[in-house]
Amino acid sequence: MPEWLILAVLTVLTCGVVLGVVLLRQRRVGDQDDPSETPDVIEYMTMMIGVVYAIVLGLAIAGVWEARNAADAAVTQEAQALHEVSERVRAYPAEERERVRDDVNAYVRYTVTKEWPRMVEQGALSDHARLLGKLRADVMAYEPSTSLQAQSHQAVVDQVAEADAARTERGSSAEPTMPGVVWFGLLAGAAVSVGMLFALQIQRSGRELVLAGLFSALIAFLLFLVWHFDAPFARGLQDATEAFTTQFPQAARSSG
């Protein structure tokens, strides 16, 4: 199901439930309901609950957005480091240069076509770090014979280490950001915040119904944002593999 459709259905259902409960409650109570009888303490509690929940919800959105940016940065760093490896081996002899580039291409191809779907579905990297290990072994096995090759060799070694670190960071970003207990708190807070509308004895006037609907839709939208960015590689990034396929077009052709 498209994400825009999920958002639309969630918003409509939330508003429908809230407005339906308001109308049914008002029909049951009738003219006997007097909003002026609402104790002042309930208004203070409603205000306090709203402020606390707004802070918690804002922190949740900021947290998943930061995790989304960190995941994007990790992918970009990994792809850029591998690209630097392919470029810096220009100083190597032809045989060693092609061997290293073949290792890089094999790793990128596997990452885009095999590892990425597994990472999205299972929230973890595959156990095929051996491809990166083979790249590291081939790089370390080369013995430079000139000063230019020695300088390039050290830079290549550093870039391989940076790619390994970025891959580890990518793996840690594959899991959902928000733990289950936080989701429970967000959903419970939403239910309490919306429920306070009834504690204030909201009436059936058009203005009050519109405000109740907008308030419910806003909470539904913000919770959708948290859910959307909670899994960066599955939903939060528009094209998560773009950094790889841009630097290595052959990987895009292989995955097409």
What is the reported pLDDT for 99? Answer: 92
> Which residue, 111, 90, 115, is CA-closest to 100?
90
What's the pLDDT at 17?
Answer: 76
pLDDT at 10: 75
Mean pLDDT on 158-178? 89
Q: What distance lies between CA 100 and its chain's CA centroid?
A: 33
Least confident segment among 72-81, 97-106, 157-166, 210-219:
210-219
pLDDT tens digit sequence for 47-71: 888 889 999 999 999 999 999 899 8
Q: What is the DSSP string of 68-133?
A: HHHHHHHHHHHHHHHHHHHHHGGGS-HHHHHHHHHHHHHHHHHIIIIIHHHHHHHSS--S-THHHH
Backbone angles phi, psi at 187, to 5 degrees: -70, -40
pLDDT confidence tier of residue 199, bands split at 50, 70 and 90: low
Highest mean pLDDT among 25-29, 53-57, 227-231: 53-57
On the question of pLDDT at 29 being above 70, the answer is no
Q: How far is C-alpha 111 from the geometric centre of its chain's CA atoms?
A: 19
